[in-house]
Amino acid sequence: MAISAAEVKVLREQTGQGMMECKRALEEAGGDAEKAVEILRKKGFAMAEKRAGRAAAQGRIHSYIHHNGRVGVLIEVNCETDFVAKNLEFQTFLNDLCLHICAAAPLAVRPEEVPENLVETEKRIAREQVEGKKPDNIIEKIVEGKLKKWYAECVLLEQPYVKDDQRTVQDLLTEQIAKIGENIVIKRFARFEIGETESD
Amino acid sequence: MAISAAEVKVLREQTGQGMMECKRALEEAGGDAEKAVEILRKKGFAMAEKRAGRAAAQGRIHSYIHHNGRVGVLIEVNCETDFVAKNLEFQTFLNDLCLHICAAAPLAVRPEEVPENLVETEKRIAREQVEGKKPDNIIEKIVEGKLKKWYAECVLLEQPYVKDDQRTVQDLLTEQIAKIGENIVIKRFARFEIGETESD
């Protein structure tokens, strides 16, 4: 049966799970939202939110260099045990993240980690675009809206995943937490590209 | 013939070349300093200084992950042409640098790139160690001396090279510039280690 985007959206907001997982659960439940939540719970996805609070002190450093040697990514992803850090599922996840970062060039993992000067510049541009054209009392709201949209473009967890743009990287992460059964934290990354900074 | 450390030091200061290169040149010159400079010049080492001013807009991103997966390094090194960036000599140099950074954990490439708050802390500690014990007018000199020593420990270019502690990383770089015949700039690096930052 056909599941509407609105139904998927409601289930996602309710469970915090990935778009595809919610769609599949709804299909399996024949469109019954309550049943779909149960299905997700059984699959362990509903546990992910809980797990997200647990300490993640283990993990792995992973890197990816693009074949031309001109772009490279280094990433730290934490989990709870060294056992998980070593497994293939986790390694594949790290590799997918590196490939995504290489292609999508995010500025930071989380909105609060975007450098303050870039946020200020973005706010200023957004404000200048509407100043004088809109009443003062709604300008700040428009600026906030534009900023939110900008974060979705440049913040890793909010970016559409490059291999499947129906999911965000946060969706991918939540799925991994559910699948692996441990809290996972994308701690930090570095992305270097030849020519992106002024040469000495 | 035996060459004294003092003779090598003088030649190094005169030419800016690596310790081993200077020692070899002096040996070859039978201890004659002028002849040794000539030998270095013929080998192209004296050209390195000149090359260091040229634009380095090409280059490669390189990475190294320690076998335990808990330490990783990403580096950008620039050179003048893509031809050099591709060659094996250059790649080997990048790998040696990554291994060094992994083991020696520098804080920055150059002294001026060490985060200001770390420099301030180091200055404060150095000042506290001598305050009250020495006349005020020489305290600043002592602090500067201690800071210089600290830079030699934590700044990549000033660190003794891990594979040969008779040379600094700057010596290694200068030798590469001479050998390859292009200006080379160690632009930046990232070094991630599991557990070095507080976990979320």
- Chain centroid to Cα A35, Å, comes to 27
Contact between residue B151 and residue B114 where contact means Cβ atoms under 8 Å apart:
yes
Q: Which residues of B touch A63 (CB under 8 A)?
A: 63-65, 72, 74
The answer to whether residue A173 neighbours chain B at the CB level (below 8 Å) is: no
| pLDDT value of position A68 | 92
pTM, whole model, 2 decimals? 0.74
- Which residue's structure tokens are 């709870």? A80
What is the rounded CA–CA span in Å between residue A71 and residue A195? 10
Per residue, the 3-state secondary structure of chain B, as one string, reads: CCCCHHHHHHHHHHHCCCHHHHHHHHHHCCCCHHHHHHHHHHCCHHHHHHHCCCCCCEEEEEEEECCCCCEEEEEEEEECCHHHHHCHHHHHHHHHHHHHHHHHCCCECCHHHCCHHHHHHHHHHHHHHHECCECHHHHHHHHHHHHHHHHHHHEHHHCEECCEEEEEHHHHHHHHHHHHCCCCEEEEEEEEECCCCCCC
User: Which structure tokens are listed for B151?
Assistant: 């830079």
User: Is the pLDDT reported for residue B66 higher than 60?
Assistant: yes
* Strand, coil or helix: A167: strand
Whether A200 sits inside 8 A of B71 (CB atoms) is no
Q: Which residues of A touch B197 (CB under 8 A)?
A: 187-188
Q: Which residues of A touch B76 (CB under 8 A)?
A: 72, 192, 194
- Min Cα separation B6/chain A (Å): 33
Q: Which residues of B touch A200 (CB under 8 A)?
A: 56, 78, 185, 187
What would the pLDDT profile of A185-199 be if each residue is shown by its tens digit? 999 999 999 987 653
User: Which structure tokens are listed for A38?
Assistant: 């149960």
Chain B nearest-CA residue for A57: B199
What would the pLDDT profile of A110-140 be if each residue is shown by its tens digit? 999 999 999 998 888 888 888 888 888 888 8
What is the rounded CA–CA span in Å between residue B54 and residue A134? 51
What is the rounded CA–CA span in Å between residue A21 and residue A12? 9
Q: Decide: residue B20, CB within 10 A, 0-12 exposed, 13-18 middle, 19+ buried.
A: middle
User: Is the pLDDT reported for residue A48 higher than 80?
Assistant: no
The answer to whether residue A200 neighbours chain B at the CB level (below 8 Å) is: yes
What is the average per-residue pLDDT within A155-174?
95
Across the strands, what pairs with A189? A75
pLDDT band at B129 (very low <50, low <70, confident <90, very high): confident
The answer to whether residue A83 neighbours chain B at the CB level (below 8 Å) is: no
- Residue B150's nearest CA partner among B123, B112, B189 is B123
Whether A78 sits inside 8 A of B188 (CB atoms) is no
User: Is the pLDDT reported for residue A63 higher than 90?
Assistant: yes
Q: Which residues of A touch B66 (CB under 8 A)?
A: 61
- Min Cα separation A126/chain B (Å): 32
- Chain centroid to Cα A22, Å, comes to 17
User: Which structure tokens are listed for A137?
Assistant: 């009392």
Whether A59 sits inside 8 A of B197 (CB atoms) is no
Whether A69 sits inside 8 A of B62 (CB atoms) is yes
What would the pLDDT profile of A82-100 be if each residue is shown by its tens digit? 999 999 999 999 999 999 9
Whether A85 sits inside 8 A of B69 (CB atoms) is yes
E strand segments, A21-124: 58-65, 71-79
What is the rounded CA–CA span in Å between residue A95 and residue B127? 47
Alpha-carbon distance values, A16 to A6, A35, A174, B114 (Å): 15, 16, 8, 41
What is the rounded CA–CA span in Å between residue B26 and residue B11? 8
| pLDDT value of position B50 | 66
Whether A192 sits inside 8 A of B78 (CB atoms) is no
User: Which structure tokens are listed for B172?
Assistant: 């290694």
Whether B194 sits inside 8 A of A61 (CB atoms) is yes
Whether A59 sits inside 8 A of B194 (CB atoms) is yes
Whether B85 sits inside 8 A of A69 (CB atoms) is yes
What is the rounded CA–CA span in Å between residue B65 and residue A61? 7
B positions 45-74 inside 8 Å of A (CB): 55-66, 69-74
Measured between CB atoms, which of A55, A69, A75 is closest to B60? A69
| pLDDT value of position A162 | 95
User: Which structure tokens are listed for B79?
Assistant: 């050179």
Whether B61 sits inside 8 A of A69 (CB atoms) is yes
Q: Please tell me the least confidently modeled range out of A11-25, A182-196, B33-47, B182-196.
A: B33-47
pLDDT band at B132 (very low <50, low <70, confident <90, very high): confident
- Which residue's structure tokens are 């599949």? A24
- Which residue's structure tokens are 């546990």? A47
Q: Which residues of B touch A71 (CB under 8 A)?
A: 61
Alpha-carbon distance values, A64 to A92, A197, B61 (Å): 12, 20, 10
User: Is the pLDDT reported for residue B179 higher than 90?
Assistant: no
